[in-house]
Amino acid sequence: MPVIILNTVIGIIQEISAKHTLSKLSVMNATEVTVLRDSKKVKIPIEKLVVDDVVILKTGDQIPADAQVVKGNIRVNEALLTGESDEISKDLGSKLMSGSFVVSGEAYAQLVKVGKDSYISKLTMKAKSMGGVEQSEMVRSINGIIKWVGIIIIPLGIALFSLSFFKNHASFAHSIVSMEAAVLGMIPEGLYLLTTVALALSAVRLARKQVMLHDMKSVETLARVNVLCVDKTGTITEPKMAVAKTINSRAFNGQNLDLLIGDFAKNMPADNVTMKAIHAYFKTGSGQKADSVLPFTSVNKFSGVIFGQTTMLIGAPEMILRKQFDQYKDEFEEYAEEGYRVLIVANYPGVLTEDNSKLSKDVSVLGYILLSNPIRKEAKPTFEYFGKQGINIKVISGDNPVTVSRVAGQAGIVGADKYIDAQEIHDGKYEEAVKKYNVFGRVKPEQKKKFVTALQNLGNTVAMTGDGVNDILAMKKADCSVAMASGNSAAVQASQVVLLDSNFARMPDVVNEGRRVVNNIQRSASLYLVKNIFSFLMAIFSLIMVVNYPLQPAQISLISAFTIGLPSFLLALESNHNRIRGKFLLNVLTRSIPGGVTDMLAVSILVVASYYVQLNTHDVGTTATLLLIAVGMMVMYHISAPLNKFRLGVMSLSLVCIIASIIFLPRLFAMTMISGKAIFILIILFCAATTVFRWLSKILDGICEVLVIFDQKGKDMTFSDLKEAYIRGKDMVR
């Protein structure tokens, strides 16, 4: 009971502190929407929207509520609602569903349904009624443990009481106390609370480093990630681009190219990073007015301005040139090798519209715009860290694969020279491609999700970073998604982790925090389960041998307080960035079973021996408690190895508290002086327990090592891998 009260008080204090910190951060990161109020544009939080509000929607915005377009036209993606990745044109009178996001264009929309009445809210409520949020492996394992304990303790408790009271004719009070001790020993009191508090504190620590978590399981998932998918722009490079220079094509001898591009820029809104760079560089034009504009879309990968019967295009060379591309390929690759992103400027003989933007004729190439995109200062050390941690980096970009490969190499990404044009990858070949290549260029939005799926099918835990609407489907599919706060609001809302300062160098902090939480909770859970396994096995032994349970609740509390509660709490505070290997439950059971079985064997032998050497119940209870404390210290040493000053300090503090409690509070913990016979048996059983525990630990560690290798290799397991697993497991048993 003292352990439960202490854990609860500490947990409540830390939870309040965590919620206070996270609430402040949530307010800072709240999504705002631009609306018209009293004919003025103002930004307000989404939750303050009301029916009939007119919101202004631009590229990258997520539609906050069900609405109807009253001005302008946009193209939207409803993939998060319908699963279809097609872009849909919306103009005057068109209905917009909340949860979809704007791909291109700008529009004014009047809200018709907000809050719980909106389409996305109804979908969310339906999803909640069908099942809760998917839990992480660690939380799922702990819930499973608690569930099975809850199922087991009721019938076992009734059986133990019946045995003691009806069969052994013990008093009612003694039978209740005996049953209570057994049941108390089976309950992992404080484990769930410790897990919740540890996760909450990790969220607070990350919040102080400008990292916002949208769900708690993302910390653990990132700690287990072995493949990280990143885009070039905004992750490897700075989010801003700059025009380096323009080059006239060999066939163009007309007016100044910069003036033509200036006219293009004057007529085209700056609604993406590329167009902002063009606007910043080309500030003057000839003053030519456009008849209409063709906004950029991720499908076409170009935008256009219509002058009379000609459409001036700027965009990806391969998408505009099509069959003409091979004529210019060598020239483009030369610029790509220098690290430039190349945009082509061309005239198309005809009028293109949003509904009819397919190019059916050859274009006249006017020239090229070369864009530079500086590599982030923090990129190289960050990717070097991931390389050392065994995390594979896959670069997935819409840019030229040669350019992306060169930039990735400069950023220190391992295997950056293994690149491919994603247009060459056909359905059914994605798994083969992700095995062979690390850099993918000219990737279409729908392909990003296929790459993530292929990596997951190969047994990988995948994280996806993104900052644009084109990344959302892949981010939703990934095991964990990370967004830059400087990116589009739709991407930010779809992600599980948000880097508030858009600093990719925060990623190692997130991974390390996840490892700290998982590793420390694994150790703490191992301490808890030793007692639970022992109590369960001892209860079965008592029923089979028709003997009373040998321990009292006060003695169980002494063991719980100083071989479980105190050390587990302190060890959970330690910095522990070791790589996570194996499954949570397997790791916990591997470390707890040797202690639990050793406890059961030692105490059961003590109980049997007590009948032959005539030990009284006080001798048996106190001797059993001392044995359990000794084995508890062995377990603590085993899970703390290799020892450092902090871990040695935790063990020493626990031992001092145990000795002080026995000396100064013997009655509180039901500890009595034991006879010479009991001391003799204690020494023999202690020596035997040391040997049994050591061998059981080696055997279980060996089995765990073999299973970890099986889990890592999966279906790619070879005979040499089997041999390696056998040798490593055997070496651990020696």
Report the percent of the chain where pLDDT is more than 70: 87
CATH number at residue 307: 3.40.1110.10
Q: How many CA atoms lie within 13 A of 127 on its CB side?
A: 10
Please report which confidence band the pLDDT of residue 176 belongs to, taking 50, 70 and 90 as the band edges: confident
Q: How many CB atoms lie within 10 A of CB 164?
A: 25
Instruction: Report yes or no: 344 and 354 within 8 Å, Cβ to Cβ.
Output: no
CA distance 535 to 597: 10
Domain boundary among the residues 130, 153, 175 is at 130
Q: Which residue has the higher pLDDT, 195 or 19?
A: 195
Domain check: are 521 and 670 in the same one?
yes
Q: How is residue 434 written in tokens?
A: 């992700």
The structure tokens listed for 243 are 């025009």
pTM, full prediction: 0.75
Q: Are residues 666 and 526 in the same domain?
A: yes
Cα distance between residue 620 and residue 674, in whole Å: 9
Q: Indicate left, alpha or beta for 428 from its phi (over 0: left) and psi (-120 to 50: alpha).
A: left
The closest alpha carbon to 527, from 230, 99, 52, 194, belongs to 194
* Beta bridge partner(s), residue 101: 62, 77
Lowest pLDDT segment from 117-126, 135-144, 393-402, 524-533: 117-126
**Amino acid (one-letter) located at 695:** W
- What's the number of CA atoms in the CB half-sphere (13 Å) around residue 40? 4
Q: What's the CATH number where 580 sits?
A: 1.20.1110.10
Angle at 319 between CA 315 and CA 248, to 5 degrees: 50
Domain check: are 448 and 476 in the same one?
A: yes
Lowest mean pLDDT among 113-122, 227-236, 517-526, 567-576: 113-122
pLDDT digits (tens, 9 = 90+) for 35-92: 998 888 998 888 888 999 999 998 878 888 899 999 988 888 776 666 555 678 888 8
CATH number, domain containing residue 126: 2.70.150.10
Q: Is the pLDDT of residue 464 over 90?
A: yes
Give the model's confidence band at 728: pLDDT under 50 very low, under 70 low, under 90 confident, else very high. low
Domain assignment present for 5: no
d(CA 699, CA 396): 44
Of the listed ranges 199-208, 236-245, 464-473, the least confidently predicted one is 464-473
What is the distance between the terminal CA atoms of the chain, rounded to a whole angstrom? 41
Counting residues of the chain whose pLDDT is more than 90, the rounded percentage is 33
Say if residues 196 and 15 touch (Cβ distance below 8 Å): yes
Which residue stretches of 213-256 are H helix?
A: 217-224
Segment 160-170 mean pLDDT? 78
Cβ proximity of 627 and 540 under 8 Å: no
List the 462-466 sheet strands across, edge first.
211-213, 497-499, 480-484, 462-466, 227-230, 392-396, 439-441, 419-421
d(CA 332, CA 627): 76
For range 125-144, the mean pLDDT: 63
In terms of Cβ atoms closer than 10 Å to its own Cβ (0-12, 13-18, 19+), residue 355 is exposed
**Is the pLDDT at 244 greater than 60, yes or no?**
yes
Place of tokens 């994280």: 463
Residue 1 is assigned to a structural domain of this protein? no
Show Cβ contacts of residue 198 under 8 Å, excluding neighbours closer than 6 positions: 517, 520, 521, 572
Tokens 């993530």 appear where?
Answer: 452
How many C-beta atoms surround the C-beta of residue 381 within 10 A?
Answer: 12
Residue 3 has pLDDT above 70, yes or no: no
Average pLDDT, the chain: 84
pLDDT category at 127 given cuts 50, 70, 90 is very low
Q: At what angle do helices 553-560 and 617-640 cross, to 10 degrees?
A: 20
pLDDT of residue 180: 74
Which residue segment(s) compose the domain that 269 sits in? 242-372
- Residue given tokens 């916990």 in the structure block: 588
φ/ψ region of 284 (left if φ > 0, alpha if ψ in -120 to 50, else beta) reads: beta
Please give the single-letter amino acid code of residue 301: K
Domain boundary among the residues 450, 471, 502 is at 502
Q: Say yes or no to pLDDT of 294 above 80.
A: yes
Q: What is the enclosing helix (H) or strand (E) of 693?
A: helix 676-713
Higher pLDDT, 187 or 724: 187
Q: Give the helix ranges, DSSP H, for 359-496.
A: 379-388, 401-410, 430-436, 445-457, 472-477, 489-494
The domain that holds 227 is classified in CATH as 3.40.50.1000
8 A C-beta contact, residue 639 and residue 527: yes
Query: Which of 485, 347, 515, 336 shows the shortest CA–CA distance to 421?
Result: 336
| Domain boundary pick from 372, 401, 435 | 372
Residue 97 to residue 122: CA distance in whole angstroms: 11
| Dist CA 244 CA 254 (whole Å) | 22
Is residue 332 one of the residues assigned to a domain?
yes
Q: Which two tokens stand for residue 217?
A: 């399981």
Indicate if 326 and 230 belong to the same structural domain: no
For residue 559, what pLDDT band results from cuts at 50, 70 and 90?
very high
Angle at 452 between CA 447 and CA 458, to 5 degrees: 125
Q: In terms of domains, do 469 and 437 share one?
A: yes
Given a cut of 90, is residue 128 above it in pLDDT? no
Residues 580 and 610 occupy one common structural domain: yes
Q: What is the pLDDT of residue 532?
A: 86
- Under the banding of pLDDT at 50, 70 and 90, the label for residue 264 is very high
**Span of 175-184, 440-449, 620-629 with lowest mean pLDDT:** 175-184
Dihedral angle computed from the Cα positions of residues 191, 197, 203 and 207, in that order, rounded to the nearest 10 degrees: -160
Q: Is residue 6 a part of any domain in this protein?
A: no
Residue 453 resides in a domain: yes
| One domain, residues 166 and 182 | yes
Residues 6+ apart with CB under 8 A from 466: 231, 472, 474, 475, 481, 482, 483, 484, 487, 491, 495
Strands 302-307 and 310-315: antiparallel
Q: Where are the alpha helices (DSSP H) in 546-583?
A: 553-560, 566-571
Domain count for the chain: 4
Q: What pLDDT digit, counting tens, does each position of 567-621 carry? A: 988 888 888 888 887 888 888 989 999 999 999 999 999 999 998 999 999 999 9
- pLDDT of residue 649 exceeding 90, the answer is yes
Classify 162 as helix, strand or coil. helix
Same domain, residue pair 179 and 84: no
For the record, the structure tokens of 410 come out as: 């400069």
Evaluate if residue 724 carries a pLDDT over 70.
no
Q: DSSP label at 441?
A: E
Instruction: For CA atoms 710, 716, 718, 720, give the dihedral sign.
Output: negative
Q: How far apart are CA 141 and CA 147, in angstroms?
A: 10
Half-sphere exposure of 588 (CA within 13 A, CB side): 27
Whether residue 645 is found in the same domain as residue 631:
yes
Please state the φ and ψ torsions of residue 417, each to the nearest 5 degrees. -80, -10
**So what's the pLDDT on residue 131?**
41
pLDDT at 733: 47
Nearest to residue 274, comparing CAs of 344, 338, 204?
A: 344
| Amino acid identity at 324 | Q
Q: Tell me, yes or no, whether 420 and 404 share the same domain.
A: yes
* Contact present, 384 and 414 (Cβ < 8 Å): no
pLDDT confidence band for 10 (50 / 70 / 90): low
List, by residue number, the catalytic residues: 231
Residue partners of 230: CB distance under 8 A and separation at least 6: 236, 393, 394, 395, 396, 465
Residue 145 confidence (pLDDT) above 70: yes
Q: How many helices (H) and strands (E) does the chain have?
A: 25, 21
Residue 344 pLDDT greater than 60, yes or no? yes
Q: Does residue 351 fall inside a structural domain? A: yes
Residue type, 210: Q
At residue 230, the 3 state secondary structure works out as strand
The mean-pLDDT minimum among 17-21, 408-412, 582-586, 630-634 falls in 17-21
**pLDDT band at residue 651 using 50, 70 and 90 as cut-offs:** very high
If one compares 81 and 302, the residue with the highest pLDDT of the two is 302
Inside any domain, residue 562: yes
Task: Check whether residue 362 and residue 282 sit in a common domain.
Answer: yes
Rounded Cα–Cα distance for residues 532 and 525 (Å) = 10
Query: 322: helix, coil or strand?
Result: helix
Q: Is residue 330 part of a domain?
A: yes
Long-range contacts from 26-30, C-beta under 8 angstroms, 24+ separation:
26/212, 28/500, 29/212, 29/485, 29/498, 29/500
Q: Does residue 624 sit in the same domain as residue 651?
A: yes
Paired sense of beta strands 227-230 and 242-248, if any: unpaired
